[in-house]
Structure 1
Amino acid sequence: MIQKQYYGLGTVITLSVSEPATAADLDAGNRLIKHYEDILTVNRPVSEVMSVNHAAGQQPVQVSKITYQLIKRAVAVSKWQLGFNTAIGPLVKLWKIGFDGANLPADTEIKNRLQLIDPNDIHLDDDQQTVFLTKPGMEIDLGAIAKGYIADAIKDLWISMGVESGIIDLGGNILLVGDSARPNGLWRIGVQNPLKQRHTALGILTTPAKSIVTSGIYERYLVINGHNYHHMFDSKTGYPIQNDLESVTIVSDVSIDGDIWTTEAFYQDIDKGIPLIEKQPGLDAIFVTRDFKVAMTSGLKDRFELTDNHYHLI
């Protein structure tokens, strides 16, 4: 395969295609990433999403079709109230976990921010394509959904350009295109070991072309007085979600679903998470706990092989 690495979306991006595709197809994918990051990021002062955030409590802001569609999807999912919340921005900016200035905020500050993270306070106008955050200080954050959206867009672009086989790796989001070079056309993809450096697997998934998205608490966290605070927040408390999970991997047809359901499943923990994912058509999940246990949905029983003997299946 022809492979190139880029930097974007706060991580190392690896794009790969099989011939007759060329490096030009990889560069086209990277240009698309840069364009989407420019309009969707909240980690720079200027973007379409930041224009919405800056106008919170003042007026609606008209945005492009791409931004509007993604915000609309994010708001709809947030209203399920299963854990995913696109209005979480004020909490993310308060804690700053994974960024310069990361800190443990005062409880009073956290309680104040809880007043600003209700997705029902985001008003959308389909006719005008505007987004209005009704309270000053509100902020949309698309960090839990944008990578999947962008990965799917690259796949669509590549298919339109005639790419027959490839791998989109956005760091946590892997999206497979077409068949692999193996005789059966299936791919063998490593599932990240949460306690080891990136690309160190705890097991191998054998799969047709699917999306494999992993979310976990092992890359962005803050340690204060021996206590580990990760970046996945509970909208009810304003603090990191409290459970025994280290990571959740979702296997799905499209990457945006992987983004959404890793968050939902992580919030639900194993006991509620496995039944929840089992009910979703076309989704499967792998749960990894802090005490080295691995659980999975029924659709992966014959497709996932545990390779790290520190872990055991439950």
Structure 2
Amino acid sequence: MIKKISMMMTCLLLIFMFAGCSTTNKEIDKTALKMDTVLQLKAYGPKASEAIDAAFIRIDEIEQMASATIESSDISKINQAAGKEYANVHPEVIKMLKTAVKYSKLSNGAFDITIGPIIKLWGIGTDNERVPTDEEIKSKLPLVGYNNISINDEDNSVKLLKEGMSIDLGGIAKEFAADEVIKVFEKYGVKSAIISLGGSSIYTLGQKSDGTPWSVGIKHPRNNSNQDYLGVISLSQQAISTSGDYERFFMKDDKRYHHILNPATGYPTDNGVMSDTIVVDSNIPDCNMLSDILTKTVFVSGIDKGLEIIDSVKGVSCMAVTTDYKIYKSSNWKIQLNKIDSEFTIVN
């Protein structure tokens, strides 16, 4: 448990918010441990406190549906029935699954929520992390494949076609929750807010109360200090998500084994990418959920293919960093990157 909490606090520092003080509205800032991560909600306005309380209630509802570790959840029901029968689930779980499958197809399997059996083998971020044998990985790879998710729209039921398969919505569920928090905030008239999901994903609602954009520091992929940033960007009404090989990993024989696994090989992705950041405009439906999916997609796909995918998706831009400290940007990345660490070079 100590290791798990430590890991989550590290994730909290991946993206740091430089927020100004409110001059016109009361600032409410609340943090809670939910969905296996540290969630921070900061809002301004006369009903900000009520809005945040209602948002946490909504997050709890989503966790009860989408957690792979809660035995009564819809995801657990799907996994328990794998290869046997269809499981009836909530329509919102269907929406998450359909979105995941859509982008699995777009990425040609670089993103795949059925990688659960491989994740369990590695145990990265748990007390059981280890390097599995080639034979163990090969035995589980046949269980990975988004094409073996069958969804029946008529009765909102789902079946995994092979026994032993399992899905884990992971970040998707948290990002779906962020999209729902936005709806809650809007209901309570909140026009200025920050939603931080463990620090690796952030949504900026409106601007700060002083009328200026939010400033977000992107974590330096190789420096451990909380104050070391690759650079700083300004955001307003946008979702941002960062994935990196430094979030959850362990070292063995001087080799880094991180949690972003390649569904095709069963091993941690090793293509020269060490972090990537996705920004999605708020007018894009499910912008938070999309930001998390696409960070994993780019990381596994690599620079060339990953940025090609991003350029094909409207309202989305990407910045990726390679192990030789070069920064690559998608053609539609228009955000100014400030205070760039001198170790990095912008290629395009």
Shorter-chain TM-score bucket reads: over 0.9
Contact preservation (8 Å) 1:2, 1:17: yes
Contact preservation (8 Å) 1:82, 1:268: no
Distance (Å, rounded) in 2 between the aligned partners of 1:239 and 1:122: 22
Alpha-carbon distance, 1:188 to partner: 1.7
Alpha-carbon distance, 1:127 to partner: 0.2
Contact preservation (8 Å) 1:151, 1:173: no
Q: Deviations over 1:67-119 (max 9, x none)?
A: 12111221232233241001111111111111221111111111111110111
**Of 59, 84, 88, which residue of structure 2 is paired with 1:62?**
88
Give the corresponding residue for 1:243: 271
**Of 130, 152, 156, which residue of structure 1 is paired with 2:157?**
130
Contact preservation (8 Å) 2:89, 2:157: yes
Q: Deviations over 1:37-68 (max 9, x none)?
A: 12111134342101110111111100011112
Where structure 1 has 5 or more consecutive residues not aligned to the other structure, the ranges are none
Bigger mean CA deviation after superposition, 84-93 or 21-30: 21-30
Q: TM-score, normalised by structure 2?
A: 0.85
Contact preservation (8 Å) 2:233, 2:335: no
Distance (Å, rounded) in 1 between the aligned partners of 2:68 and 2:261: 17
Give the corresponding residue for 2:12: none
The alpha-carbon distance between structure 1 residues 229 and 12, as it changes in their structure 2 partners (threshold 3 A), is same
Q: TM-score, normalised by structure 1?
A: 0.93
Q: Using CA pairs below 8 Å that are at least 6 residues apart, which structure has the higher relative contact order? A: 2
Distance (Å, rounded) in 1 between the aligned partners of 2:252 and 2:215: 39
Contact preservation (8 Å) 2:311, 2:317: yes
Distance (Å, rounded) in 2 between the aligned partners of 1:276 and 1:306: 28
The alpha-carbon distance between structure 1 residues 150 and 135, as it changes in their structure 2 partners (threshold 3 A), is same
Give RMSD over aligned pairs.
1.8
Distance (Å, rounded) in 2 between the aligned partners of 1:112 and 1:8: 33
Give the corresponding residue for 1:29: 55
Distance (Å, rounded) in 1 between the aligned partners of 2:210 and 2:346: 27
The alpha-carbon distance between structure 1 residues 134 and 278, as it changes in their structure 2 partners (threshold 3 A), is closer
State the percentage of identical aligned residues. 34
The code of the aligned residue for 2:324 comes to: D
Alpha-carbon distance, 1:152 to partner: 0.7
Contact preservation (8 Å) 2:109, 2:146: no
Alpha-carbon distance, 1:197 to partner: 4.6
The alpha-carbon distance between structure 1 residues 160 and 197, as it changes in their structure 2 partners (threshold 3 A), is farther
Alpha-carbon distance, 1:198 to partner: 5.3
Contact preservation (8 Å) 1:116, 1:138: yes
Count of residues in correspondence between the two structures: 313
Distance (Å, rounded) in 2 between the aligned partners of 1:55 and 1:138: 9
Alpha-carbon distance, 1:186 to partner: 2.4
Alpha-carbon distance, 1:306 to partner: 3.8
Bigger mean CA deviation after superposition, 115-124 or 2-11: 2-11
Matched residue SS, 1:87: coil
**Of 244, 255, 263, which residue of structure 2 is paired with 1:227?**
255
Give the corresponding residue for 2:110: 83
The code of the aligned residue for 2:308 comes to: P
**Of 225, 230, 234, which residue of structure 2 is paired with 1:202?**
230
**Of 314, 319, 336, which residue of structure 2 is paired with 1:303?**
336
**Of 280, 285, 305, which residue of structure 2 is paired with 1:252?**
280
Contact preservation (8 Å) 1:82, 1:267: no
Alpha-carbon distance, 1:265 to partner: 1.1
Where structure 2 has 5 or more consecutive residues not aligned to the other structure, the ranges are 1-26, 282-286
Contact preservation (8 Å) 1:248, 1:265: yes
